[in-house]
Structure 1
Amino acid sequence: MDIVIAAHELRVLTRGTTLVGPLSFELRHGTTTGLCGPSGAGKSTVLRALVDLLPPELRTEGEIHVLGRPVVHRKGDADLRSKVVLVPQTPVVFGGSILDNALFGIRHVLRESKERLRQRAELALAEAGLWEEIRDRLDTPAGNLSAGQKQRLCLARSLALEPVALLLDEPTSALDERSRDTVEQSVASLRGRRTVLLVSHDPAQVARLCDTTIQLEEPRLEVQPAGSASGTVDGP
């Protein structure tokens, strides 16, 4: 199916007050889409709504479909969250080795041999652009990695699940320029192979990485090509 995620008239509400929406959009296979807007517009909230990870005080209205299947609010659908993976703004690195971290997600969702799980983790580290830097120290503590390497490790941990889509929440906001460029290269390499929804406050980054943009404003959402004359960003 070409359409991976579809939202129709999606609203996020609290106590009857609409915080985000209504908004409608479609994310197609292999595309990278930027989700942009001012601080407080609800960009991270949209990401969490797509995988049913909103806090208890928030609820959704409207429709969300992943691969044609409806996302049911408060269902706690682990299968959904292995297909559409949210990578948070601050990289979460667990205690243990680099390899332990890369294996963390798939250990809980796949019943495979240790050898097969390791193969999946190593392929994901390569896809995230980290393999060449850490291949000789997989058993060293993940906490010793640089900030940019930790972000790519989180990306690899998600990719090991072989998701249909990745939701990236400001993946370079806390990085220096060199680390940002390296993470951007990893994200750019996913184009055409993974569906990516990228939250970014940087219009130039969106222009570099994204095929289209979703501009989140109060109170409406506009979807437009990244290079359109009426948009807030230029095409890559």
Structure 2
Amino acid sequence: MDNVISVRDLRVLDGKKTLVGPVTFELAPGTTTGLCGPSGAGKSTVLRALVDLLPHGLTRDGHLEVQGRPIRYGKGDSGLRSKVVLVPQTPVVFGGSILDNAVFGLRHLVRASREDLRGRVEQALKEAGLWKEVHNRLDTPAQSLSAGQRQRLCLARALALEPAALLLDEPTSALDERSRDTVEESVAALRGSRTVLLVSHDPAQVERLCCRTVRLEHPETMALTSTAA
């Protein structure tokens, strides 16, 4: 089966200076891949490069394909961010209800009836492991949710877009142990049905959740290894 994402010789540049890369890896359908490496190696930067969200002044080059379709750097692609969705380290919860937050991306990217939108959101909340906790209070403020619930709400918001791949940037680093375990359960449940690239500073978490890893070291060092499935 074709890879969901293929990355070849990806580099992130500050002028002519290489900050990250070259990095080469592929994401197969239904797999969870860990992007690992020491602090400052550029793990989060790689995620941002994949969705064209690099900080001002940085550029990227290399080759990126999403579902077999080349994505040209610097040319823009209105559909890219609905196909490859980044869930950031800090949960972004907007003012408004739980339902408003969950449907936010869909309202901007998908033309569908209110019933269809709600159906997709319900499925996404179930997939993120949050439905049972919020199904009877979808109209309550999202700000009332715990940190772990907010992270799963952000996960659901991404899943509602039915992306080709999810990019998770340190999804549990700001959570207590109990909330971390709950979010990990939700991420683990995606394996086999969703393609996930996970950045984590915790080797034990990567071992628990990922079937293989891409390790970043210095700009010209990268290795792909396999871990237990």
TM-score, normalization by structure 1: 0.94
Q: Which residue of 2 aligns with 1:131?
A: 131
Q: Which residue of 2 aligns with 1:221?
A: 222
1:1-236 equivalences under 5 Å are 1-219=1-219, 220-226=221-227, 235=228
Structure 2: how far apart are the matches of 1:175 and 1:119? Answer: 29
Please list the CA deviations of residues 61-106 of structure 1 after superposition, one character each: whole Å capped at 9, or x if unmatched.
Answer: 2111111112222333231110110000000000000000000000
Q: Which has the higher contact order (CA 8 A, sep 6+)?
A: 2
Q: CA deviation at 1:171?
A: 0.1
Please list the CA deviations of residues 169-211 of structure 1 after superposition, one character each: whole Å capped at 9, or x if unmatched.
Answer: 0000000000000000000000010100000000000000000
Structure 2: how far apart are the matches of 1:152 and 1:74? Answer: 32
Please list the CA deviations of residues 51-70 of structure 1 after superposition, one character each: whole Å capped at 9, or x if unmatched.
Answer: 11112311112111111112
Please list the CA deviations of residues 140-162 of structure 1 after superposition, one character each: whole Å capped at 9, or x if unmatched.
Answer: 00000000000000000000001
Structure 1: how far apart are the matches of 2:112 and 2:58? Answer: 37
Q: Which runs of 5+ in 1 are unaligned?
A: 227-234
8 Å CA contact 2:2, 2:68 repeated in 1 = no
Structure 2: how far apart are the matches of 1:76 and 1:143? Answer: 33
Q: Which runs of 5+ in 2 are unaligned?
A: none
Q: Which residue of 2 aligns with 1:230?
A: none
Structure 2: how far apart are the matches of 1:74 and 1:61? Answer: 9
Structure 2: how far apart are the matches of 1:147 and 1:57? Answer: 32
8 Å CA contact 1:3, 1:28 repeated in 2 = yes
- For 1:198, give the aligned amino acid: L
Please list the CA deviations of residues 101-136 of structure 1 after superposition, one character each: whole Å capped at 9, or x if unmatched.
Answer: 000000111111101100101110000000000111
8 Å CA contact 2:129, 2:152 repeated in 1 = yes
- For 2:226, give the aligned amino acid: P
Identity, % of aligned pairs? Answer: 71
Moved over 3 A (4+): none
